[in-house]
Amino acid sequence: MSDATTQLIENLNALATGLFLLTAFGIVATRQARGCLHLFIAQSLLLAASAALLGLHFDSGHLYGVALVNVISKPIIVPWLLRRIAPAEIYTRREIDQVLNIPTALIIALALAIGAYFLGVPLANAVGPGYHGPNVPIGIAGLALGAFTLAVRREAMPLLIGLLAMENGAFLAGISIARDLPILVELAIATDGLIIVFIVGVLVRAVEQHVGTTAVGELASLKEVPAKRLAEEAAP
Amino acid sequence: MSVVAILFPPLVAAALAWIPFRRGWAPGVTVLSCLIVLVLAARMAWRVAAGEPVTDSLDPTWSNWVAVDGLSVLILLLIALVATTAAVYSVGYMAHGNPAPRRLRLYHANYNLFIFSMLAIPLLAEPTLVWIVVELTTLCSALLVSFANTREALEAAWKYVVLSLMGAGIALFGFLVLFAALHAGGGSQYTWAGLVAAAPGMPPLLVQTAFLLILIGLGTKVGLVPMHTWLPDAHSQAPSPVCALLSGIETTSILYVILRLFPIMQAVPGAHAQTWALVLGLISVGTAALLLLQVSDYKRLFAFSTVEHMGIVLTAVGLGASADYGAMQQIVNHSVTKSFCFFAAGATLLAVGTREIAMVRGLVRRAPIAGAALIFGGLAVAGAPPLAVFLSEFAILKAGLAQGRYVATGLLALFIVIAFFGVMVHLNRMVFGAPAQGLPDPPGAAGSRLPFTCTLILILAAVPVLVLGVYVPQPLHELMKHAAAALVR
């Protein structure tokens, strides 16, 4: 491979990972449930693109496998499963009151992304020489922003997307530092993602049926109540 | 016969349980499969205790994926034991209230899948595959936690799934970093054994990062403070036999994965794995002990006691050396005792129909079996002599003192004493207290009879709690010694 081609591949990978980071910010801030899903699909395609580019760079069949698994499972099977299992309501919901307002959430997200950079760069250097690209810091940022999404959202769909986005982030970093993971493991992890969608879908349907909402984050009745107060409440 | 054979009975049983046959079919299949698993696990444990290799019949190509040693066999045995007692307990307990046959089949199919996923954790040697089955334990048990379909149960299941999977996402990155560390260190075999072998050459920064990520990620599922918030919810809202599984063995089998990292960390210079374990363990024990004082739900009481016990095990591993054996003993005693406690809590729930501590008084007069079991379980789990947990906690404290770690040991002893009072104050009132003025009769307190299988299991499960407190059988002693040896490089 000539130097110019390598350079082009590295630049394209930097572009893909940069856009990946943008989608992670988008998931934190998008109010519409459907928008979140679309951002997640875009993010998975960008992950696949980065895997394919790195595959080209290192001439690695494993990474093509990762790209293929991602293209098939997340943009196609995940929405199909959700449509089959979860109540249709989760698509239409729009979150009005979030735990944090959107500007505040984005500022915290920005701080997380900067923190991820300072954690990721030494980590990538410690792996040894060779091209890592911006995958490790951006992957860690994706992981952190996914976790942050879980903390600030209440609707079922953004929460599910937050979980899956965390996995995407871990993988984006993983494909650059753990390139030769057996394909069996990749397949198993992809299947596992689908089981997550299935179980969470079933749970959301049960919540919708028995509680009458898909804002699962608002379920908060279980906590420690001092025994004395309870006895007082029970007394007539 | 290969060791992987132990995975097949629960898988087959999960499929069979779906067949709409007679009412007793699904529970029967589950009990049978658990008994087979118990026999297989006991056979393996016997071979390890006798010093024979268990993996001789294993095809060499399998050894990249499957490996068994003392520690994994100990965990397998405990999973098999609690799975069997909880399965028998389920027969009577789940029939209570006459649920629809379809729901009963769902319960048993899920139960078997849950057992399958747990059994796979100690068997698998490839860390990323272990990660996947850890995820599976969450996913297979989520619908068991939400089984009652009440608002509270659904909330508990939701928190359980979201927080566990969030932890799993962090742990996944940890395992990928560990893989990178292995390759940077010149190793090629990504198994627990391969990691230990390649550990001296691995970059310390990578190994430490991986360790912390996995400790935090999987620690969420073990219920280590401050990632424990979901645990009392899930462990109290699930049906009681499921609580016994969740609290008794699921937590320990996830802790097992964390314990696997310690021999790797010992070879890395400047890695403070044991310090982390000690600090996180003591924080968990202390927080759980204080929270135990103010619980209002007796199933949550036992759940917090699980957080405390996991903290004790981690503290013991943090102390290291001679405390390792105590940690193994604590794992065994925790499993048998905590599962008994949840069986007792289930019997109490059937008798009084409420989970509120304040609503239950004088239980021993109203439901003698449940009352006696509850106070026995409380004494056992709090660590009263001469019961099992006392012996292991004593062993850990003794090992700590022998090493001259007075501050850590002193704190641990203090927290254990606080937890003892926390447990006993509540249970004592429930079992012996005089009914308070103005308390209404709890709903559903028609004094339903305890099903036969529940009584049977309450008697059988009490045996190891009693026996292990005064006498540790030689084979078990050998097995625990082998298991403790797996923690040291």
pLDDT digits (tens, 9 = 90+) for A57-100: 988 888 998 899 999 999 999 999 988 888 888 888 777 667 78
With a CB cutoff of 8 Å and minimum separation 6, the contacts of A185 are B126, B128, B129, B132
Angstrom CA distances, A3 to A6, A12, A13, B412, stand at 5, 14, 15, 61
Query: Least CA distance to A202: which residue of chain B?
Result: B143
Q: What are the residues facing B356 on neighbouring strands?
A: B297
**Predicted confidence band of residue A198 (pLDDT cuts 50, 70, 90):** very high
Q: Can you tell me the mean pLDDT for B355-364?
A: 88
Structure tokens at B141: 């048990």
Model confidence at A233, in pLDDT bands (50, 70, 90)?
low
Mapped onto helix, strand or coil, the DSSP state of residue B67 is: coil
Say if the Cβ atoms of A231 and B436 lie within 8 Å: yes
Range of lowest pLDDT (A62-66, A126-130, A219-223, B339-343)? A219-223
Residue A27 and residue A165 in contact, taking contact as beta carbons nearer than 8 Å? yes
pLDDT confidence of B227, banded at 50, 70, 90?
very high
- B34 to chain A nearest CA, in Å? 25
Instruction: Classify each residue of B182-203 as buried b or exposed e, where b means 16 or more C-beta atoms within 10 Å of its C-beta.
Output: bbbbebeebbbebbbbbbeebb
Question: Looking at the predicted structure, is the pLDDT value of residue B176 above 60?
Answer: yes
Residues 285-304 of B with CB under 8 A from A: 291, 294-296, 300
When pLDDT is averaged across residues A17-41 and rounded to a whole number, the result is: 93
Q: Is the per-residue pLDDT at A166 higher than 80?
A: yes
Instruction: Measure the CA–CA gap between B440 and B446, rounded to whole angstroms.
Output: 14
Q: What is the mean pLDDT of residues A155-163?
A: 91
How many CA atoms does the CB half-sphere of B14 hold within 13 Å? 14
- The predicted pLDDT at position A231 comes to 52
What per-residue confidence (pLDDT) applies to B147?
Answer: 93
Please state the domain extents for chain B: 145-485
Task: Report how far residue B431's alpha carbon sits from residue B425's, in angstroms, rounded to the nearest whole number.
Answer: 10
Say what the alpha-carbon torsion angle A142, A144, A147, A151 is, to the nearest 10 degrees.
-120
pLDDT at B475: 94
Give the pLDDT band of residue A236 (cuts 50, 70, 90). very low
Report the distance separating Cα B71 and Cα B4, nearest Å.
Answer: 16
Mean pLDDT of the residues in chain B = 92
Which amino acid belongs to residue B76?
Answer: L
Nearest C-alpha neighbor of B414 from the set B395, B387, B428, B393 = B393
The 8-class DSSP code of residue B356 comes to B
- Cβ of B125 under 8 Å from any chain A Cβ? no
Q: How confident is the prediction for chain A on average, in pLDDT?
A: 88
- B126 has a chain A CB within 8 A of its CB: yes
Judged on CB neighbours under 10 Å (0-12, 13-18, 19+), B459 is exposed
Q: Give chain B's length.
A: 489
pLDDT digit string (tens) for B200-214?
Answer: 999 999 999 999 999
Which of the 8 DSSP states describes residue A213?
Answer: -
Confidence of residue B416 (pLDDT cuts 50, 70, 90): very high
Asked if residue B283 lies in contact with residue A213, where contact means CB atoms within 8 angstroms, the answer is: no
Q: Which residue of B has its CA nearest to A165?
A: B169
**pLDDT, average across residues B289-304:** 93
Q: What percent of chain B has pLDDT over 70?
A: 96
Span B142-169, average pLDDT? 94
Q: Which of B320, B185, B179 is nearest to B263 (CA)?
A: B320
Which tokens go with B478? Answer: 């050998």
The model's confidence at residue B321, banded by pLDDT at 50, 70 and 90, is confident
Question: Which SS3 state, helix, strand or coil, does residue B471 take?
Answer: coil
Interface predicted TM-score of the whole assembly (ipTM), two decimals: 0.93
Query: CA-CA distances (angstroms) from residue A235 to A229, B30, B75?
Result: 10, 44, 46
